């Protein structure tokens, strides 16, 4: 007899989704169950897919192929689900290799970039087992990935889901270098800006009453996190991108909930660049100008 909750749980899965994949990702148990943590994780990835799918469709319609790079891929939940729901049905999806990297723009591929070798090995094995031929997993840092011949010179979409602290900025730098048409970010655990605010707090307190916004440690942390994303958006605008910021899912599912979507439109850049530099100056963050570069 079927388990009472199995049909309900299966109804939460998108049509066409591989049950074998969800079991391999431990989102589903062997008998098709989901616990609350798995349900929350799947909801987040599906909700993000709703934002990414039209971007993939636009690139596919314009170019005939789609190349996506997922930075800080971790266990590659996002990459595998994107491939399963979108890429595997494309007529020109194919495996990447160093030998033909210069010609990868002629085929559709997903690249997962991750610094933890054991996760890269696991993802490669899973992709091979599922016959996801258009997925490649690379054990590289961001700096290495920018110059690696295992990646194409230009990519269409760059994603970073819950890439912690400066890993989101690293993904932005990669996307700018690779001239990505779309950048999709869900930042997480930003601490770098807050640390600089904390270090310079004494000097700033005497200069500006607005320093009260981050005088207390908890406010330093929260304000630093918010300010980090403001600076990221200005940086993207200073490189010609149109930026949209919204919620990923309800706050009850994740506190790391800010979704930044940028589309390259070659927009005017000077005003955003000037505002970025002025924010850095006003906040006493001039030393971070190389992090949030505009040219």
Angle at 248 between CA 288 and CA 233, to 5 degrees: 25
Sign (positive or negative) of CA dihedral 205, 209, 210, 214: positive
Report the run of H or E that residue 69 belongs to, with start and end. Answer: strand 67-71
The C-alpha atoms of residue 246 and residue 56 are separated, in whole angstroms, by: 19
Q: Tell me the pLDDT tens digit for each residue of 159-189.
A: 998 877 788 899 999 999 999 999 999 988 7
User: The whole model's pTM is what?
Assistant: 0.89
* Whether residue 1 has pLDDT greater than 60: no
The C-alpha atoms of residue 264 and residue 239 are separated, in whole angstroms, by: 8
State residue 85's pLDDT score: 96
* Whether residue 147 has pLDDT greater than 50: yes
The rounded Cα 65 to chain-centroid distance in angstroms is 20
* Whether residue 99 has pLDDT greater than 60: no
**Token pair for residue 204?**
């700033």
Provide CB contacts within 8 A for 231, sequence distance 6+: 193, 276, 279, 280, 288, 292
The C-alpha atoms of residue 258 and residue 188 are separated, in whole angstroms, by: 9
Which of 22-26, 35-39, 238-242 shows the lowest per-residue confidence on average (mean pLDDT)? 35-39
**Token pair for residue 266?**
């070659």
**Token pair for residue 227?**
């300010």
User: What is the DSSP annotation of 228-272?
Assistant: HHHHHHHHHHTTTEEEEEEESS-TTT-S--EEEEEEE-----HHH
State residue 252's pLDDT score: 47
Q: Tell me the pLDDT tens digit for each residue of 31-80.
A: 888 888 888 888 888 988 999 999 999 999 999 999 999 999 989 999 99
Which of 65-69, 93-97, 191-195 shows the lowest per-residue confidence on average (mean pLDDT)? 93-97
Backbone torsions φ then ψ of 138, nearest 5 degrees = -125, 130
Please, which pLDDT band fits residue 12 given cuts at 50, 70 and 90? Answer: confident
Which residue did the predictor score with more confidence, 234 or 92?
Answer: 234
Please answer whether residues 35 and 9 qualify as being in contact, where contact means their C-beta atoms are separated by less than 8 angstroms.
Answer: no
Q: What is the mean pLDDT of residues 84-98?
A: 78
DSSP state of 293: -
The C-alpha atoms of residue 95 and residue 233 are separated, in whole angstroms, by: 33
Please, which pLDDT band fits residue 105 given cuts at 50, 70 and 90? Answer: very low
> Residue holding tokens 């570069």?
293
Total H helices, total E strands in the chain = 11, 7
């Amino acid at each position: 007899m079927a388990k009472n909750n199995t049909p309900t749980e299966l109804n939460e899965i998108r049509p066409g989704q591989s049950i074998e994949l969800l079991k391999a990702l431990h989102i589903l148990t062997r008998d098709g169950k989901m616990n609350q943590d798995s349900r929350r994780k799947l909801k987040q990835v599906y909700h993000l897919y709703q934002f990414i799918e039209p971007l993939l469709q636009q690139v596919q319609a314009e170019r005939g192929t789609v190349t996506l790079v997922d930075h800080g891929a971790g266990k590659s939940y996002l990459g595998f689900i994107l491939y399963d729901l979108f890429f595997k049905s494309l007529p020109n999806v194919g495996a990447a290799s160093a030998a033909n990297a210069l010609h990868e723009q002629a085929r559709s591929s997903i690249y997962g970039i991750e610094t933890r070798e054991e996760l890269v090995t696991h993802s490669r094995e899973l992709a091979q087992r599922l016959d996801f031929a258009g997925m490649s997993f690379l054990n590289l840092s961001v700096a290495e990935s920018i110059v690696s011949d295992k990646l194409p010179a230009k990519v269409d979409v760059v994603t970073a889901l819950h890439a912690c602290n400066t890993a989101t900025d690293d993904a932005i730098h990669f996307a700018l270098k690779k001239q990505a048409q779309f950048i999709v970010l869900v930042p997480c655990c930003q601490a770098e800006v807050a640390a600089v605010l904390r270090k310079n707090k004494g000097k700033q307190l005497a200069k500006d009453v607005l320093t009260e916004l981050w005088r207390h440690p908890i406010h330093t942390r929260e304000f630093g996190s918010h300010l980090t994303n403001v600076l990221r958006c200005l940086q993207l605008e200073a490189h010609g991108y149109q930026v949209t910021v919204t919620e990923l899912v309800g706050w009850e599912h994740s506190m790391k909930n800010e979704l930044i979507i940028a589309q390259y439109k070659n927009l005017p850049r000077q005003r955003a660049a000037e505002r970025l530099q002025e924010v850095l100056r006003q906040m006493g963050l001039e030393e971070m100008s190389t992090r949030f570069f505009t040219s």
